[in-house]
Amino acid sequence: MKLQEFLKNKVILLFIIFIIVYIIFFFSFKQHSDIWWDSASYIGAGKYIFSYGEEGVFEPQKSILLPIILGVLWKLNFNVILVGKIFIFLISLLSLVFLYLFSKELFNEKTAFLATLILSFNVLFFIFIFRLYTEMLSICFILGSIFFMLKSTKNKSYNYLFLSSLFAFLAFLSKYQNIILFGILNIYLIYETYKSKKVSSIILFNIFSFIIFLPFLHINYLVYGNPFYLVEQSKSYFKENLGTLYNLKAFPGIPRVLFKTTDLIYFKTILFLFNVLIPFIFYGLYLIIKEKNYFKEKIFLIIFPTLIFFFFLEIFYLKQDRYILLIFPFLSMLASYGISNSENKKAFLVVGIYIFFSLLGVAVFFSNFSETQYANFFINPPINISCEKVATSDPRVAISEKVKKIVFPYEVFDETWSPKRKGSQILSQNPNCIFYFSCYEKRDEHIKRLNEINYSLEYSKDTGRCLYAIFISFKIK
């Protein structure tokens, strides 16, 4: 294929433009060094796994796949943050490829192109391409699994059915809550079984899924004596720290990217980020309901996943705007289907308006929201110290080369916290150093309490709103 013919391919041109825009944002807003809370937690978990518990920290609520990937990068002495972000970018590109292929298989090439374009430059999607979070992994493997499921039923291929099982399993490893994808796929297969009067597909899919799950269950059993240990620990952690796993009200203690309040957060996120495309989402939905050809496939593979994921996320007590990213590919397909079937030719201009304001929104966000300076306190401590074990309220300490073992006394977030009270993790863990961070008014009292249990204040910086401090145990002074 000649270069001129190559560039005439709209999809290829879209990906080239997308990569260029990504690179511009990556370097213009110094995203190669900006590291957020959970990103560091995944890195710390990776270090913990590949050091056999000698370094880093492992939080049981974290799903295992991303820590393993980042742990491998750390073990190979790569720059984990930089190479990890490149990996997430490649996974994001693959998710867009799956979206295009899936949309093309289910609709047509024009709808597929528009759906890929809409998702590519969605504000929240674009922001999290730069983050070492599980969202891009989840989107990629969910789309891949559903795409291969559609291919398997259309081509009567068991190879595609196996790939669907494999990608659903990878989605589960990316985030344990994605286990509901197996339910979604089985619902679709029940319909296919009813339509074809053959049960082979649904039986084989579940056999494949069971076989693929076996190594995970076996490793859990060998290491912990319980095949479901990691999943149960994740669930127990949420129950202990959030009080309940499911509630229409949201846990208030977690900061959100776009909205400070949690009421109707997912409705607000969708309305805010799809803005001018909202009418076309409803129009696309109307067209699907009205159609006869492929009506069932579109219902089971677009509308059902959207509703099921949304309902699950809405009743889950821990709500963050990034979680709703799971349904953005499906909303993009609905919007693109509505636009491509609109009689008003100016409808395509709406996509241009949407992309313009999306990129503007991302630029404004990156200009006003950087945690690099804040994170540097934990990653590169301002004083020359070496701590074998550190207690901290921020996982970014796990990235520091001056620190090995990490413990997280989340109780520090409690305004009434006292290191002397019964069950105090600081007393039980007995760390060498404490990297303290608090925005509570009673932080001066916390300092006094730490002095009382033989920790001396070596460094402190009060920004007016928050206090950063480093304490060292008298035992190592």
Q: What is the overall mean pLDDT for the chain? A: 87
Q: What is the mean pLDDT of residues 332-354?
A: 91
| Range in 31-35, 45-49, 54-58, 134-138 with the lowest mean pLDDT | 31-35
pLDDT, position 464 = 77
pLDDT, position 75 = 95
- What secondary structure does DSSP assign to 395-450, as a single string? GGGGG-TTEEEEE--GGGGSTT--TTSTT-HHHHH--SEEEEEE-STTHHHHHHHH
How would residue 156 be classed by pLDDT, with cut points 50, 70 and 90? confident
How would residue 294 be classed by pLDDT, with cut points 50, 70 and 90? low
pLDDT, position 260 = 64
Query: Does the predicted TM-score (pTM) go above 0.85?
Result: yes
CA torsion through residues 295, 296, 300, 304, sign:
positive
What is the H or E stretch that residue 461 is in?
Answer: strand 455-462
Q: Which of 65, 66, 63 has the alpha carbon at shortest distance from 230?
A: 63
pLDDT tens per residue, range 412-467: 555 566 666 655 677 778 888 888 887 777 777 778 888 888 889 999 888 777 78
pLDDT, position 393 = 77
pLDDT tens per residue, range 220-273: 999 889 999 998 888 887 777 666 666 766 766 555 667 666 678 899 899 999
Strands 467-473 and 455-462: antiparallel
